[in-house]
Structure 1
Amino acid sequence: MANEVLKKGGEVGSEVSGETRSSDFEGMRFGVKAWRASASGVREGGSPAVPIVLVHGFAQQASTWDDTARLLADAGAECFGFELAGHGAGACSAGGDPAKRSDFFDLRFQARALLAFCRVVARDAGVAPVLVGYSMGGRVALQAACLAADDLRGGDQFGRISLRSSAAFAPCDRTGRLDVAGVGQRDTAATSAGDAVRMSAAVPFSALVLESAGLGPVDDAAREALRERNFAWAARVRDEGVSAFMDWWAGLPLFESQRNLDDDQRERLRAGRLANDTESLALSFERAGAHAMPSQGESIRALCELAAKGIPVSYLAGELDAKYCKVASTLQSESQGAISCCVVPAAGHSIHLERPEAFGAILEEVVESCTPKPAAP
């Protein structure tokens, strides 16, 4: 399937290392890495597993998924690492300069490109992929989920109103908790023929897995604080350059547990960070930072609506990552259990790097739950 989905965009490596390709969307060239499913991982009955689209974090590339993708490929799942604007193999545009096309870095633009790529994978595989986003990649995947939920609302009066704040569409009780009663219940009406067509057009993924991803600012004050922080970081990387900035970035408490990685892993992680250019990193902060996300209330409601339509949503946080364990707890509470939230033991912010086997096992379960069962003889 990889050859059908992707345009050749670089050297083609072995099945183990993955194939480097590209995907064009409205003038932007996104890098993609494909890992073929192992022949030994063919499922009983010969039915292929649902493919997986993996979206990396800030200053990383698709290769950050190598260990996880190999495990999943051995289990029979074809994987695609989608690289964000200005990251990895993708040029900023079909031949351009980041500063001249900063709109390519917009969170919504990248989310639309991700949805378009998932549709291509779904078309060629015959089944929608599982979408997995880590950190900044989770931010883009979450924005894609909000856009998909907007599309699902499409024809009715509720859907014609653009969501802008949780207050307008998620009434709160006296404790301030979002009122999502009934949202997490599977909507059996979605099984009708008309709804099935609408679902396939609006939601080109079978399941969504968010790893260590924020949910968006809780209010306007939080959004402004995030905007100021992200623009300050953009200025810092422009002033200091990539190498000095990444030395500081790697030393943040958020990444402390990465010091337990072996020397080779740490060196590959650093080399990947240093492979980025200054302006692309700065624009990623300014145009796709957490301040550009939908509000937390809107994000949670969109995820609950997808779950209600039969699209499983999972949230993963590492036990050593206090910040995102709190996010997982908030999501579990506000969604009233509609979203599956899991804290992975002995892992920090980068679960797929620190505990690839545990992370892979979770994804295998998600894939298994979404993979069509072979017809009875």
Structure 2
Amino acid sequence: MASVMTSIRGLNVHYQIINPQAEKTLVFLHGFTGSTKTWDSVIQSFQDTYRIITIDLIGHGLTDAPFNVQRYSMEEQVEILHDFFKARKIPSFTLIGYSMGGRVAIAFTMKYVDMVEQLILESSSPGLPTSEERAARRKSDHLLADRIEKDGVESFTDHWENIPLFDSQKGLPAPTKQAIRKERLEQREIGLANSLRGMGTGHQPSYWEELQSFTKPVLLITGELDRKFEEKASAMNKRFQCCKNVIVENVGHAIHVENPQTFATIIEEHLEII
């Protein structure tokens, strides 16, 4: 696996690449507080067949975390990705996104539909449908962003790993929980805070009405213990024209963490069928 830093739109963007000569490409986008390390337990299943690219989104991992919040808009993150693929002469790929990375994947797909061969979303959504919901979410995201900057990453991590969304992770083996915590602790206050202020769910456009325009294959993966995102996936499944919705038993929001083998197998089987 090659770890590479490159300059895109005036930012240092970090990514990892495996099997660069392969014909088909899988691109993985992590969630909030994540990085390329998010996918370490999953990508080995694909490395002999596909070119694999994992990317640190703006403000995360080793990618720059600028102070200018405008650099963190969803529209800007989409353009960073577009210029990244264009510079590397990668015209099309399968795009896989988890949670925040899934929202980025949807936004990218809606603008650059010809580049996305198929879309795989883990525990994600196309945003909030009403302006009232977005306004309320912006308020809560800004409060959380201020808290991160005031109290620091460690205090925020203590809070974040105990929110209800991640209750199902408390029974994971100690080494797995330690790896997740380490990944979060390696983040920077400004990067996390500005990600919330710039491309949090309340700031991004709602893509619900655009989903039906995407005619290529879509795979939605959610955990049965994550009712909120299971409902979002069910609603998305009705909008996409060519969609499969898979619910994984006994796991919550982060299927790739709680059951990486099943998560990888679901994707493998999907790619073999397409």
- TM bin (shorter chain): over 0.9
- For residues 35 and 146 of structure 1, the distance between their equivalents in structure 2, rounded to whole angstroms, comes to 27
Q: Which residue in 1 is equivalent to 2:5?
A: 22
Q: Which residue in 2 is equivalent to 1:319?
A: 224
Secondary structure of the structure 2 residue equivalent to 1:67: coil
Cα distance, 1:71 vs. partner?
Answer: 1.3
In the alignment, residue 80 of structure 2 is paired with which amino acid? A
Cα distance, 1:118 vs. partner?
Answer: 3.6
How high is the TM-score relative to the length of structure 2? 0.93
CA root-mean-square deviation: 2.0
Given the alignment, which residue of 259, 264, 270 partners 1:360?
264
Cα distance, 1:120 vs. partner?
Answer: 4.8
Q: What are the residue-to-residue correspondences of 1:131-280 with 2, within 5 Å?
A: 131-149=95-113, 203-280=114-191
Q: Which residue in 2 is equivalent to 1:115?
A: 82
User: Alignment identity in percent?
Assistant: 29
Given the alignment, which residue of 91, 107, 130 partners 2:64?
91
1:34 has 2:48 as partner: no
1:162-208 deviation line (CA, Å, top 9, x unaligned): xxxxxxxxxxxxxxxxxxxxxxxxxxxxxxxxxxxxxxxxx212111
Cα distance, 1:369 vs. partner?
Answer: 4.4
Gaps of 5+ in 2: none
1:214-234 deviation line (CA, Å, top 9, x unaligned): 221121111101111111111
- For residues 171 and 75 of structure 2, the distance between their equivalents in structure 1, rounded to whole angstroms, comes to 35
Q: Given that residues 211 and 236 in structure 2 are in contact (C-alpha distance below 8 angstroms), is that contact kept between their aligned partners in structure 1?
A: no
Q: Given that residues 130 and 367 in structure 1 are in contact (C-alpha distance below 8 angstroms), is that contact kept between their aligned partners in structure 2?
A: no
Cα distance, 1:368 vs. partner?
Answer: 2.9
Higher strand share: 2
Cα distance, 1:49 vs. partner?
Answer: 5.6
Q: Given that residues 60 and 87 in structure 1 are in contact (C-alpha distance below 8 angstroms), is that contact kept between their aligned partners in structure 2?
A: yes
In the alignment, residue 156 of structure 2 is paired with which amino acid? F
Q: Given that residues 49 and 78 in structure 1 are in contact (C-alpha distance below 8 angstroms), is that contact kept between their aligned partners in structure 2?
A: yes
1:54 has 2:44 as partner: no
Cα distance, 1:65 vs. partner?
Answer: 0.2
Q: Given that residues 303 and 339 in structure 1 are in contact (C-alpha distance below 8 angstroms), is that contact kept between their aligned partners in structure 2?
A: no
Q: Which residue in 2 is equivalent to 1:77?
A: 50
- For residues 87 and 340 of structure 1, the distance between their equivalents in structure 2, rounded to whole angstroms, comes to 30
Q: Given that residues 114 and 141 in structure 1 are in contact (C-alpha distance below 8 angstroms), is that contact kept between their aligned partners in structure 2?
A: no
Number of corresponding residues: 274
Q: What are the residue-to-residue correspondences of 1:338-377 with 2, within 5 Å?
A: 338-369=242-273
- For residues 346 and 238 of structure 1, the distance between their equivalents in structure 2, rounded to whole angstroms, comes to 35
Secondary structure of the structure 1 residue equivalent to 2:214: helix
Cα distance, 1:59 vs. partner?
Answer: 0.9
1:332 has 2:237 as partner: yes
- For residues 78 and 204 of structure 2, the distance between their equivalents in structure 1, rounded to whole angstroms, comes to 11
1:19-50 deviation line (CA, Å, top 9, x unaligned): 2112322101211012338xxxxxxxxx9562
Cα distance, 1:257 vs. partner?
Answer: 1.2
Secondary structure of the structure 2 residue equivalent to 1:269: helix
- For residues 18 and 173 of structure 2, the distance between their equivalents in structure 1, rounded to whole angstroms, comes to 24
Q: Given that residues 129 and 208 in structure 2 are in contact (C-alpha distance below 8 angstroms), is that contact kept between their aligned partners in structure 1?
A: no
Q: Given that residues 118 and 129 in structure 1 are in contact (C-alpha distance below 8 angstroms), is that contact kept between their aligned partners in structure 2?
A: no
Distance 1:106 1:230, change over 3 A: same
In the alignment, residue 100 of structure 2 is paired with which amino acid? M
**Structure possessing the higher radius of gyration over alpha carbons:** 1
In the alignment, residue 360 of structure 1 is paired with which amino acid? A
Gaps of 5+ in 1: 1-17, 38-46, 93-97, 150-202, 371-377
- For residues 333 and 143 of structure 1, the distance between their equivalents in structure 2, rounded to whole angstroms, comes to 18
How high is the TM-score relative to the length of structure 1? 0.68
Cα distance, 1:102 vs. partner?
Answer: 2.4
Cα distance, 1:292 vs. partner?
Answer: 1.8
In the alignment, residue 83 of structure 1 is paired with which amino acid? D
